[in-house]
Structure 1
Amino acid sequence: MSSLQPPEIVDVTIEKGVQKARGSFLTLAVLGFLAGVFIAVAGIAMIRAMGTMPKEWGSLVNVIGAAVFPFGLICLLLAGGELVTGNMMVVSMALFARKISGKEWLRNIVIVTIFNLIGSLFVAYFFGYLSGALQGDFAERAIQVSLGRTKDTFLQGFLSGIACNFLVSTAVYLNFAAKDFIGKIVGIFLPIMGFVICGFQHVVANMFLIPMGILLGGNTWSAFGQNMVSVYLGNIIGGGFFVAGLYFLAYKVGTGQLSKK
């Protein structure tokens, strides 16, 4: 078969989670930086694709941007990368299986978060701002997208973060399920396109989108900080509970496999 069966995906996810949790600092740092870069470059491409399209185009503008953005996650998952939102699901699954400790879970999440942020800010400043890629006609769109991330209340950002990482973690999960290159691309592409169309909030994408607006003079660091807290917490719940927790409950606890160990 070209894909794993649902119970097999849980086993693979647990194995991947153990590997990630026990990765060296250097590996996590480099791959975390690269993941931030991939997501941020995808953000640049999305903004330029949406460009100066008129308001009359309505939701079509979002669909076009959503069709472009998924290549960032496709690149980091297939070439290699440590994305904290994905790890909120993958490493949590290993924690639920009692294969790693809470300390190992926290170590991975903290290191990857820091280097996702560094990679995102690097791209925002050097590739988005200094290169001129998001200057001129594209600056207004970049600011508009940035402000769209910070306009939500804490509760809205939190709930949006849950929904977002439910879809992002599902994309990572489907990547593990597929055995062939095309299957992995399709499995990643569809959920990511879905979350972008819905406008849900992804903490690593926001690590690029909001600072990009700040660099262009259209947003503030205080708004960025507030957004990070609400969306980050929501992303943890979306990936750690709604994907890792529920699938683990269904295929490990529900089948009695956990109690046999």
Structure 2
Amino acid sequence: MDIPQTRDNTVKPPVADTIHKQESSVKKSPLFSKIDAALMNKVALFQTSYARYAARAMLATLFLTLGTAAAFGTALQAEKILPGSGKFTFAFMFSWSLVMIIFMGAELGTSDMMFVTVGVYRKKINFSTAVKVLGTTLLFNLIGGILFAYLISLTGPFQDLPTNNYLFDGIASKLSKPSLQIFVEAIFANIIVNTALFMNLRMKDDAGKVMAIIFIIFIFAFLGYEHVIANFPAFSLAFFASHGTIAGMTLGSVLHNLFFALIGNYVGGALIIGMTYAWMNKTKTDYVD
């Protein structure tokens, strides 16, 4: 084979050899370095102090309950002033939930779906650890959601609500959705949540992070998509505030919604966002996030 030479007659390596050297190792992704570090912090806390990890998971639904209560509270008042405006105020106020969760270092099950799945794929943790961490997060998100929703239901804004109002009607509508609709809406909901999380990891300015999170989460809240963790306090608050009189609210209808929302959220957050980006960033080129 003829070896290409430069004008000064020095030997120039073949192009194929140059490309091979450039692609000899997988490029390091700054985004996934942060995801790996965050995952390792979660696992270390889980393994050394289960109670502290559980407390962070309960804090996630404390902030989510506060955001949900503020969202429904403002929507109830907005509907009195201008019918139809409640949807806008609800979506805006609900968006602050994820801001509080991220900035206060709480553990949210729908984002942990992405973290642990990517961790298994990237061989940072084993499957057993992933299941335990995610299962614990979901369990204490549920406990926190029920507990804090009950306490919020005892406060002034949720006393003696009329039978037909934005909160009760909204929850009744959620519980009447068919399985496929819940599943598909849940996929999109967690695509949106984990997109907001990725944006938070990539941005440096805190004010910019807040704005990005609010406007991204506004999408799924305004469209009424299904988020299994958000439904923990939402269903609980509606049940306690209505004293169990929500139309169509039975144990079966609640479990039906939560099951398909859980599966859809996993597909959207763990597989479509988490695994897709993990696979795309397992590259030997410079095109990494």
Q: What do residues 69-100 of structure 1 show as CA deviations (whole Å, max 9, x unaligned)? A: 11111111111100000111122222211100
What are the ranges of 5 or more consecutive residues in structure 1 without an aligned counterpart?
1-5
User: Structure 1 residue runs of 4+, over 6 Å off?
Assistant: none
Name the structure 2 match of 1:19.
41
Map 1:87-236; keep pairs closer than 5 Å. Answer: 87-127=112-152, 129-137=153-161, 140-215=165-240, 216=242, 217-218=245-246, 219-236=249-266
Percentage of identical aligned residues: 23
C-alpha distance in structure 2 between counterparts of 1:249 and 1:138, whole Å:
51
**Residue 116 of structure 2 corresponds to residue 86 of structure 1:** no
C-alpha distance in structure 2 between counterparts of 1:21 and 1:186, whole Å:
29
Which residue type is aligned with residue 152 of structure 1?
Answer: K
Write 1 or 2 for the structure with the bigger share of helix.
1
Shift of 1:143: 1.0
What are the ranges of 5 or more consecutive residues in structure 2 without an aligned counterpart?
1-27
Aligned residues: 249
**Residue 276 of structure 2 corresponds to residue 246 of structure 1:** yes
CA contact (8 A) 2:86 2:166 kept: no
CA contact (8 A) 1:73 1:188 kept: yes
C-alpha distance in structure 1 between counterparts of 2:213 and 2:95, whole Å:
7
Name the structure 1 match of 2:32.
10
C-alpha distance in structure 2 between counterparts of 1:195 and 1:132, whole Å:
28
Shift of 1:208: 1.1
Shift of 1:135: 2.4
Q: TM-score, normalised by structure 1?
A: 0.89
Name the structure 1 match of 2:25.
none
C-alpha distance in structure 2 between counterparts of 1:88 and 1:233, whole Å:
11
C-alpha distance in structure 2 between counterparts of 1:170 and 1:138, whole Å:
37
Which protein is bigger by CA-based radius of gyration? 2
Name the structure 1 match of 2:14.
none
C-alpha distance in structure 2 between counterparts of 1:43 and 1:143, whole Å:
13
Which residue type is aligned with residue 9 of structure 1?
Answer: L
Shift of 1:45: 0.4
CA contact (8 A) 1:95 1:105 kept: yes
Shift of 1:22: 3.4
Q: What do residues 115-153 of structure 1 show as CA deviations (whole Å, max 9, x unaligned)? A: 1111111121111x2224322347632211211221211
C-alpha distance in structure 2 between counterparts of 1:55 and 1:235, whole Å:
35
